[in-house]
């Protein structure tokens, strides 16, 4: 099964990627992991990527694509993979399609985790981080009434990333970037949406049910 997972910030994409990949016995390939592996492994691409990251610049598409190509060529990805964080836009999606086509392969499915904006805001804007131990609590889900860490007594604060206006802005950026990608995969006839609200295990279950008809 060759799978791409897309979803907004706060949809629990990283966690779902891990569970789905392990259920399907395929590697979870995220761009974050690929970057870290290349940089810490000191590959030529890793060194190149680092020059951009050290300057605070975005790593150019060509570098990301070359890393993805290398990763997809590895042995463990020959019988399938789950891609998380790539492709990010239609241009990358077309490159991925051509790359797979060169190898006589194609994507089986693109799974979109669907959560409405207010739910994402509820999840992210309710987070409070401990200033001492870094643990994250949730105002609603952990029923936090005070602003002290239950583990170490440290003061809790809200990270800028978790502030409601920042979350709403991230969601807007996501929609702008991803809407065209989603319609591209709708046109390709391989996009399936999965309701990503509710407990993690239930979402995984729904995802697995959505995948089942596509398993060879
Ligand atoms: Zn703490």
How large a percentage of the chain has pLDDT more than 70?
A: 100
Q: What is the model's pTM?
A: 0.86
Q: How many residues does the chain have?
A: 216
CA of 200 to the centre of ligand 1 (A): 24
Active site residue 128: no
Question: Residue 53 has what pLDDT?
Answer: 85
On average, the pLDDT of the chain sits at 94
Question: Residue 59 has what pLDDT?
Answer: 86
Residue 185 pLDDT > 80: yes
Active site residue 69: no
Question: Residue 56 has what pLDDT?
Answer: 86
d(CA 27, CA 96): 17
Question: Residue 184 has what pLDDT?
Answer: 97
CA of 146 to the centre of ligand 1 (A): 13
Question: Residue 94 has what pLDDT?
Answer: 96
Residue 216 pLDDT > 90: no
Active site residue 145: no
Active site residue 97: no
* Side-by-side strand order, sheet with 191-195: 28-30, 81-84, 2-6, 109-114, 191-195
The catalytically annotated residue of 2, 13, 123, 206 is: 13
CA of 152 to the centre of ligand 1 (A): 4
- pLDDT tens column, 186-197: 999 999 999 999
- pLDDT tens column, 83-140: 999 999 999 999 999 999 999 999 999 999 999 999 999 999 999 999 999 999 999 9
Question: Residue 202 has what pLDDT?
Answer: 96
Residue 76 pLDDT > 90: yes
How large a percentage of the chain has pLDDT more than 90?
A: 85
Question: Residue 195 has what pLDDT?
Answer: 97
End-to-end CA separation in angstroms for the chain:
8
d(CA 87, CA 168): 22
Residue 209: other Cβ atoms inside 10 A = 10
Active site residue 122: no
d(CA 38, CA 198): 35
The CA-based diameter of the chain, rounded to the nearest angstrom, is 58
Higher pLDDT, 145 or 194: 194
CA of 149 to the centre of ligand 1 (A): 5
- pLDDT tens column, 39-62: 999 999 999 999 998 998 888 989
CA of 199 to the centre of ligand 1 (A): 25
Phi first, then psi: give them for residue 130, nearest 5 degrees. Answer: -80, 130
């Amino acid at each position: 099964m060759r799978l791409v997972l897309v979803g907004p910030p706060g949809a629990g994409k990283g966690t779902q990627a891990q569970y789905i990949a392990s259920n399907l016995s395929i590697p979870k390939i995220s761009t974050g992991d690929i970057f870290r592996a290349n940089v810490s492994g000191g590959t030529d691409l890793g060194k190149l990527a680092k020059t951009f990251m050290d300057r605070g610049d975005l790593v150019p598409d060509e570098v990301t694509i070359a890393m993805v190509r290398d990763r997809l060529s590895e042995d463990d990805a020959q019988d399938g993979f789950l891609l998380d964080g790539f492709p990010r836009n239609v241009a990358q999606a077309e490159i991925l399609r051509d790359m797979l086509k060169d190898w006589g392969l194609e994507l089986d499915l693109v799974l979109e985790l669907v959560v409405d904006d207010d739910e994402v805001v509820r999840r992210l804007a309710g987070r409070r981080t401990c200033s001492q131990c870094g643990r994250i609590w949730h105002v609603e889900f952990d029923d936090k009434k005070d602003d002290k860490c239950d583990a170490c007594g440290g003061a809790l604060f809200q990270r800028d990333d978790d502030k409601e206006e920042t979350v709403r802005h991230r969601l807007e950026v996501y929609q702008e970037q991803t809407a065209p990608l989603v319609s591209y995969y709708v046109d390709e006839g391989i996009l399936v949406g999965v309701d990503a609200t509710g407990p993690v295990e239930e979402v995984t279950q729904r995802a697995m049910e959505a995948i089942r008809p596509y398993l060879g």
